[in-house]
Amino acid sequence: MSQHPAPWSKPPAPNSSPAPRPGEVRGAGGGAASSTMNGGRVPAPVPATGPSQVPPEQLRTLAYHRLGFADRNHEWWKPLVEGAILFFLFLVLSVLFAIPVILFMDNPMGLDNVATMDQLDPLIFFFLFGSVALLAPAAYLARKIMGPRPLGLLHSVTGRLRWKWMLQCGLAALAIFVVINGLSILFDLMTGGEALEFTLAPQWGWLLLMVILLVPIQCFAEELVFRGYLMQTVGRWLKHPAWAILLPVPLFVAGHLYDVWGQASIVVMAITMGVITWRTGGLEAAVALHVVNNCTVTLMAIVGLADLSDTSGGPIDVLFTLAVNGVFLLVVFRMARKTRIATSRTIILPPPPRLPALAQRPRTVSQVGSELAAFVVDPRTQNYLSLPEQYGPYTVRDGQGRPVGLLDVRKTSGPQSPNGQSGNGPWPNGPSQGGDPRDRQLAGAQPPNRGSHGGDSATNQDRTP
């Protein structure tokens, strides 16, 4: 007689895991979920509730320009009020900032013409760049007042400023500027251009200090407003990212007093920084490009290779800007794919409002022979609707979208019955023995069953369409 093999002699199943040791409990993944420590059992970790545990229909993925929808309390009109607050705060801060600076100037009347200013004068440099930097506190205060919240959504989809990512983008932009500027200077020398002559500005030490401390804040403030607030404001109303990228461009260009070729270069930079903000899900790459560009131009002016007061440009300048920004876009896109930088934010939608009790729901009853009754609900707002009496008939569908009949609410002529219906309505002889069907708890779209007394009695099944 053959014997069955012992349980321990059977080979393990393909998906089985080794038996737990004494004092150990294994979780669903096969790993140890708890252990014994100091004679007591440590409970298994409880999985956190996050987007992975939520049904997909309750999730919504938002790009950077659509982050206004991340705050369920944010309304469509709030960006307008936020902009008004930002503008007012900027004016107040500008006045408070200008008064003490002007008192130290030798010729404050010269401030009315930017083109004639000596921008290498440290005091004028501080006034021009510092006044633009005031956009940052104004933008933060306006966002703090009006939302959306958290405040960090102004920086990126992660709700914070990604310093490491911004540093990586800054190093990439610096390398691109050095290489392309070096090639440009080398080409100029090879084609018979004049040799470079370095001339330090009179107070270059103060200027260098402000390039390090003030210029990055000025660039960050501009990006906070033109790529942060404005892009998210447009994205609150228009879904496609092209609108959020292109519509702020004229305002950004208006703040730079250059000729046509200079303005064309600004347009290229504005579009590049808008695209890269949308594509990387934050302001960091745009801030890095802006800081490196402004610092490079200012340093070249300090050593006599550029003129900050020059507002003219040319086709070569536009081509140079296209080359720098195009290469930067390609490099940052590759870096974003390699580092898997977050480019969107997933939110959990609030649950839909609960429907009221069946007895409290308004119902619409047919006025003619179809004898249907339905609860009419708007699927988007979950609000009950009243069907106008001059239109119809309406096709009634159940919860699965299947048509079940026609609901005609148009009034008909004829003598009124005791229950208020016309004589040729569905109850020509008054209420049946089962009572007025309109007083029953009707749930949408079911033809009435014929009772044993020959009268009409409506169904009371709860099948809300």
The CA distances from residue 227 to 220, 287, 370, in Å, are 10, 10, 59
User: Closest by alpha carbon to 269, among 219, 207, 337?
Assistant: 219
DSSP string, 71-136: STT--TTHHHHHHHHHHHHHHHHHHHHHHHHHHT-S-GGGGG-GGGS-TTSHHHHHHHHHHHHTHH
User: Closest by alpha carbon to 33, among 50, 52, 46?
Assistant: 46
Please give the pLDDT value at position 8: 39
Please give the pLDDT value at position 430: 36
The CA distances from residue 157 to 65, 116, 292, 338, in Å, are 9, 42, 23, 18
Please give the pLDDT value at position 380: 66
| Beta pairing, strands 36-37 & 32-34 | unpaired
> Tens of pLDDT along the chain (465 residues)?
444 444 434 444 544 455 544 444 444 444 444 444 444 454 555 454 555 677 887 889 999 999 999 998 889 999 999 999 999 999 999 999 999 888 877 766 666 666 667 889 999 999 999 999 999 999 999 999 999 989 999 999 999 999 999 999 999 999 999 999 999 888 888 887 777 888 999 999 999 999 999 999 999 999 999 999 999 999 999 999 999 999 999 999 998 888 999 999 999 999 999 999 999 999 999 999 999 999 999 999 999 988 888 888 889 999 999 999 999 999 999 999 999 999 999 998 887 666 666 566 566 665 555 556 666 777 666 677 777 766 667 777 776 778 877 777 766 544 444 444 443 333 333 333 333 333 333 334 444 443 444 343 333 333 333
**Phi, psi at residue 340, to the nearest 5°?**
55, 50
Please give the pLDDT value at position 32: 42
Residues with Cβ within 8 Å of 385's Cβ and at least 6 positions away in sequence, in order, are 376, 377, 378
pTM of the model: 0.69
Q: Residue 230 in 3-state DSSP? A: helix
Please give the pLDDT value at position 159: 95
